[in-house]
Amino acid sequence: MNERLLLQLEVDQLNAAYAAALDERRFDAWPGFFLPEGRYTLQARENFDRKLPLALIDLESQAMMKDRVYGITHTIYHAPYYTRHVVSPAQVFGEEDGRIRAQAHYAVFRTRPGDVSEVYNVGRYIDQIARTPAGLMLASRRCVYDSEMVLNSLIYPI
């Protein structure tokens, strides 16, 4: 198979597994998609476009992500809801300095039990991905969201 197509398939499978873990509420698995020094950033499009550093969430390591998971699962009280991630096929831009550069668009829907589903967050993943013996892992994932307003509070990872 063409190496480029194989890489596309690998990146799309990484995104599918990532979305499934979050939608199935397997939050303990979420940090495992990242390298130990991996970074997860959730940033408004306005700040991203202006090259401003302010982000809603900026976790600088897998350890910080594990702390976030602990908070989600043990300390934060909120009305329950489910998420459903819809992720586009990735655009794979190439490899530079041992990192695969890719981007995918996402939409996250939220459903509260007994209520209607609503669009929760829409944007794009801008990724730096590393090839490891265990498979592809995120060196960084920047979630650039388009919405100017975030509904209520953002608890679960995007």
Structural domains of the chain, count:
1
Predicted pLDDT at 155: 87
Predicted pLDDT at 96: 85
Residue 28 covered by a domain: yes
The CATH number covering residue 133 comes to 3.10.450.50
- The mean pLDDT value of the chain amounts to 94
Query: What residues contact residue 151 under an 8 Å CB cut-off, 6+ apart?
Result: 110, 118, 120, 121
**Is the confidence at residue 1, as pLDDT, over 70?**
no
Residue 73 covered by a domain: yes
Predicted pLDDT at 55: 95
Query: What residues contact residue 25 under an 8 Å CB cut-off, 6+ apart?
Result: 82
Query: 120-158: per-residue pLDDT in tens?
Result: 999 999 999 999 999 999 999 999 999 877 766 788 999
Query: 35-73: per-residue pLDDT in tens?
Result: 999 999 999 999 999 999 999 999 999 999 999 999 999
Element (H, E) at 21: helix 3-23
Residue 86 covered by a domain: yes
Predicted pLDDT at 77: 80
Residue 158 covered by a domain: no
Predicted pLDDT at 97: 86
Residue 156 covered by a domain: no
Residue 121 covered by a domain: yes
> Which domain range does residue 64 map to?
3-145
Residue 83 covered by a domain: yes
Residue among 108, 91, 101, 110 at smallest CA distance from 145: 108
Residue 153 covered by a domain: no
